[in-house]
Amino acid sequence: MYEGVVQDLIDELGRLPGVGPKSAQRIAFHILQADPTDVRRLAHALTEVKEKVRFCTVCGNVSEADLCRVCQDARRDPSLICVVEEPKDVVAVERTREFRGRYHVLGGAISPIEGVGPDDLRIRELMQRLADGTVTELILATDPNLEGEATATYLARLLKPMGLKVTRLASGLPVGGDLEYADEVTLGRAFEGRRLLDV
Amino acid sequence: MYEGVVQDLIDELGRLPGVGPKSAQRIAFHILQADPTDVRRLAHALTEVKEKVRFCTVCGNVSEADLCRVCQDARRDPSLICVVEEPKDVVAVERTREFRGRYHVLGGAISPIEGVGPDDLRIRELMQRLADGTVTELILATDPNLEGEATATYLARLLKPMGLKVTRLASGLPVGGDLEYADEVTLGRAFEGRRLLDV
């Protein structure tokens, strides 16, 4: 419908997650009218990220060096590991400023439907990190959905013989949420996990 | 929050229209995991579009040559011009396959709030195209909003002394829409523009 290179750009943009044909068109026309240096900066950022970003050899988080910033930081508690599915989960946990331990990024969750089994995740690397006995607690922070729960259960069973403290993030009502709109599973979990108020 | 180049990419993506911080992060992580050749192709498409795409010297539509595809096409009726605000409006009209004339892209609409006056639009170029008398009808297809209507009215007044046939696209209920959900202005226009059914 468009002239060659404009259509090429719309096609390439349309391949990005969450960018439909209409948004791709809108972004393409924005780029047509944008300052050339801005566009060059975006193109450069895209190629830079592919050239420079690797994955941390210890925890699997994104990193520009062999070790990511968390693994490099000597102030982070080495006895505590938070296990997450993806690098973006690390960012989500970091944002809470609640956690001062280290991470382990699995690279996904067990999902028979998508053909992802335990061997496709960085579980062997996790076991290696636990071998020297430094780690005493493992927090399983996989997503609170079917795949995340299955992965947490699998890991908990696998780790049981090692005598570690293995915990799972609490499920319950989201803060600022509305009880009326909570789904029954979440509300059920909130009842299960109810806490005594010490007043 | 992220390592340098990842954050750079998220920042650059976040500047695009309709891409919020969450989408920017999602796209950035997609790119981290994508095939390097795909990413290089996207970066290339971005720079190509800035290098190759110009604007048609006659109608102002996007083009890789001096003349756009419509202006180059001898089969398009030169006596009929459809006036639109933006190049993407050309694509929208082309998609209907109803129009076999030529286009004139104004490059926007009159908007005192945004400081866009008649001199900022390609109105002088339009008048030049009308000078030789080839054009007999002008269809004003600016957007059916305040700015588009103001622009259409301005043009209609400007063109009146030239004795051309000047028309405006019909306003009314969208096809497949629901009368109940139509706003009162649209519904009012649909009454105004009602047509006799010849059955």
- Asked if A140 and A59 sit in the same domain, the reply is yes
Average pLDDT over residues B93-113: 90
- Asked if A138 and A92 sit in the same domain, the reply is yes
Distance of residue A161 Cα from the nearest chain B Cα, in angstroms: 35
User: Nearest 5°: phi and psi at B159?
Assistant: -90, -15
Model pLDDT, residue B115? 92
pLDDT digits (tens, 9 = 90+) for B9-64: 999 999 999 899 889 989 998 998 888 899 999 999 999 888 888 889 999 998 88
Distance of residue B93 Cα from the nearest chain A Cα, in angstroms: 11
Q: Could A30 and B8 be called an inter-chain contact, meaning their C-beta atoms sit closer than 8 Å?
A: no
Q: Could B91 and A2 be called an inter-chain contact, meaning their C-beta atoms sit closer than 8 Å?
A: yes
Q: Could B43 and A39 be called an inter-chain contact, meaning their C-beta atoms sit closer than 8 Å?
A: no
Per-residue HEC secondary structure of A99-145 comes to: CCCEEEECCCCCECCCCECHHHCCHHHHHHHHCCCCCCEEEECCCCC
> If you write DSSP's letter for every residue of B33-77 in order, what string do you get?
HS-HHHHHHHHHHHHHHHHH-EE-TTT--EESSSS-HHHH-TTS-
Judge whether A196 lies within some domain. Answer: no
Measured N-to-C along each axis, helices B123-130 and B146-159 cross at an angle, to the nearest 10 degrees, of 40
**CATH number (domain holding residue A48):** 1.10.8.420
Look up the domain containing A23 and give its range. 4-52
pTM: 0.70
| Chain A hits for B45, Cβ within 8 Å | 5, 8-9, 11-13
- Asked if A73 and A23 sit in the same domain, the reply is no
- Asked if B63 and B89 sit in the same domain, the reply is yes
Q: Could A16 and B8 be called an inter-chain contact, meaning their C-beta atoms sit closer than 8 Å?
A: no
Judge whether A175 lies within some domain. Answer: no
**How many structural domains does chain A have?**
2
Judge whether A178 lies within some domain. Answer: no
- Asked if B28 and B106 sit in the same domain, the reply is no
Answer whether residue B173 shows pLDDT above 90: no
pLDDT digits (tens, 9 = 90+) for A118-132: 999 999 999 999 999
Q: Which of residues 23-82 of B touch A (CB under 8 A)?
A: 23, 25-32, 36, 38-50, 52-53, 62-64, 68-69
pLDDT digits (tens, 9 = 90+) for A65-95: 899 999 999 999 999 999 999 988 898 888 8
Judge whether A185 lies within some domain. Answer: no
Interchain contact A180–B (C-beta under 8 A): no
Answer whether residue A40 shows pLDDT above 70: yes
Mean pLDDT of chain B: 88
Q: Could A39 and B47 be called an inter-chain contact, meaning their C-beta atoms sit closer than 8 Å?
A: yes
CA distance A69 to A76: 10
Average pLDDT over residues B60-74: 91
Judge whether B88 lies within some domain. Answer: yes
Distance of residue B160 Cα from the nearest chain A Cα, in angstroms: 33
| Domain final residue pick, B15, B32, B52 | B52
Q: Out of A3, A28, A91, name the one closest to residue B2 (CB).
A: A91
Average pLDDT over residues B103-131: 93
Q: Cβ of A144: how many Cβ atoms within 10 Å?
A: 16
Nearest CA in chain A to B96: A1
ipTM of this predicted structure: 0.70
pLDDT digits (tens, 9 = 90+) for A16-30: 998 998 899 899 989
- Asked if A71 and A38 sit in the same domain, the reply is no
Answer whether residue B199 shows pLDDT above 70: no
Model pLDDT, residue B175? 78
Model pLDDT, residue B2? 67
- Asked if A26 and A99 sit in the same domain, the reply is no
Lowest mean pLDDT among B37-46, B79-88, B176-185: B176-185
Answer whether residue A178 shows pLDDT above 70: yes
Q: Which residues pair with A168 in a beta bridge?
A: A140
> Strand pairing of A165-168 and A137-140?
parallel
- Asked if A10 and A96 sit in the same domain, the reply is no
- Asked if B43 and B81 sit in the same domain, the reply is no
- Asked if A64 and A101 sit in the same domain, the reply is yes
Answer whether residue B176 shows pLDDT above 80: no
Judge whether A25 lies within some domain. Answer: yes
Answer whether residue A1 shows pLDDT above 70: no
Which residue type does A12 have? E
Q: Out of B19, B25, B45, name the one closest to residue A8 (CB).
A: B45
**CATH number (domain holding residue A85):** 3.40.1360.10
- Asked if B87 and B101 sit in the same domain, the reply is yes
Judge whether B197 lies within some domain. Answer: no
Judge whether A114 lies within some domain. Answer: yes
- Asked if A74 and A22 sit in the same domain, the reply is no
CA distance A185 to A144: 11
